[in-house]
Amino acid sequence: MSRPELQAPPEIYYGDTEAEKYTNNTRIQQIQADMTYRALELLNPPQDEPAFLLDIGCGSGLSGEILDEAGYIWAGVDIAPSMLEVALEREVEGDLFLQDIGQGFGFRPGSFDGAISISVLQWLLNAETSHPTSSPPHRLTRFFTTLHSALRNPSRAILQFYPTSDDQVQLITSIAQRAGFGGGVVVDYPNSKKARKVFLCLFVGEGGGGGAQVPRGLLEGDEAVGAPESEDARAKFERRRQRESRRERNGKQKAVKGGKDWILRKKDLYRRRGKDDVPHDSKYTGRKRRAIF
């Protein structure tokens, strides 16, 4: 099958149906968890206090759940409204922002102690229109320049992505370097077509600039230091399922989409997120209108 980024823009490809399918797929959940653990190992955030991390392309919060379990505070950005809707319904802990990363970030300088991104960067390599501002170099430049500003000094950003050629890797790394980043590319299992993973490991400041070495990629027989063993991973997913079961026993089972309970829960989530234009609840909330003949 063709890669998703070659089929449609992310905000279109990840509509309501695809967002639900993606989030509920146990294989995708496991892959996201494995790559997030590896990204955290490469990120090596400060341990003296809870780090504030940026999850770029957070989607429905699968990687954010790993950040929660690891004890980090995080904020996430994504361009697909349907993915963020699923994240809201799942009550993820991070703050969520609807954002096209190709237009750059609007965060204050030095806001984050680090950043991770799982399977996102390749979306910027496809021009959606012929306009110059939609070209991959322009969007990558805006992305890396504003990301560099949003990270504190020193810090790191770990971006896992799927390049289709060495030229794409060269384009990305050269633009990141021009934006002020140090670092380079880390390739795990380079001789395996299935297990091969590419991470862009970027450094900000003296703690990661020219003085720091890019970590080596994993080889056959290696195991990521920060990754849990398979039994531990299964235990975490089991605990997640148990949390969902407790929600059901406590009357928090997933409401039927479009029904009154579903509408009330979503409005409550929006209020807790600080939205000001949420309609008031009334006896008419969720009531179906009579058909007019």
pLDDT in tens, 196-212: 999 999 999 864 444 57
Is residue 210 situated within a structural domain?
yes
pLDDT of 236 strictly over 70: no
H helix and E strand count, the chain: 9, 7
Answer yes or no: do 240 and 138 share one domain.
Answer: no
Percentages helix, strand, coil for the chain, rounded to the nearest 5? 40, 15, 40
Token pair of 284, please?
Answer: 């008419």
Over pLDDT 90: what percentage of the chain? Answer: 62
Number of Cβ within a 10 Å radius of residue 86: 22
pLDDT of 171 strictly over 80: yes
Is residue 70 situated within a structural domain?
yes
Least Cα distance to 210 among 143, 147, 154 occurs for: 154
Residue 262 has what pLDDT? Answer: 73
Answer yes or no: do 50 and 193 share one domain.
Answer: yes
Contact 82, 16 (CB under 8 A): yes
pLDDT of 15 strictly over 60: yes
pLDDT of 142 strictly over 90: yes
Residues 6+ apart with CB under 8 A from 159: 56, 115, 116, 117, 120, 121, 199, 200, 202
More confident residue, 276 or 104: 104
Reduced to 3 states, what is the DSSP secondary structure of residue 260?
helix
pLDDT of 30 strictly over 60: yes
Is residue 17 situated within a structural domain?
yes
Vertex 243: Cα angle to 237 and 244 (nearest 5): 95
Structural domain for 265, as ranges: 232-272
| Stretch 130-145: mean pLDDT | 87
| Stretch 130-139: mean pLDDT | 81
95-98/73-78 β-pairing: parallel
pLDDT tier at 288, thresholds 50, 70, 90: confident
Over pLDDT 70: what percentage of the chain? Answer: 81
Instruction: Please report the beta strands in the chain, taking only residues with DSSP state E, as ranges in sequence order.
Output: 52-56, 73-78, 95-98, 112-118, 151-161, 182-188, 197-204
Answer yes or no: do 103 and 241 share one domain.
Answer: no
pLDDT of 54 strictly over 60: yes
pLDDT in tens, 103-131: 999 999 999 999 999 999 999 998 666 56
Reduced to 3 states, what is the DSSP secondary structure of residue 1?
coil
Vertex 103: Cα angle to 169 and 128 (nearest 5): 70
pLDDT tier at 49, thresholds 50, 70, 90: confident
Which pTM was predicted?
Answer: 0.78
pLDDT tier at 265, thresholds 50, 70, 90: confident
Q: Using CA of residue 148, residue 75, residue 58, residue 142, what is the dihedral sign?
A: negative
Count of structural domains within the chain: 2
How far is Cα 203 from Cα 209, in angstroms, rounded to an integer? Answer: 5
Residue 16 has what pLDDT? Answer: 93
Average pLDDT of the chain?
A: 85
Answer yes or no: do 174 and 253 share one domain.
Answer: no
More confident residue, 26 or 253: 26
How far is Cα 49 from Cα 246, in angstroms, rounded to an integer? Answer: 31
Answer yes or no: do 223 and 236 share one domain.
Answer: no
CATH code of residue 69:
3.40.50.150
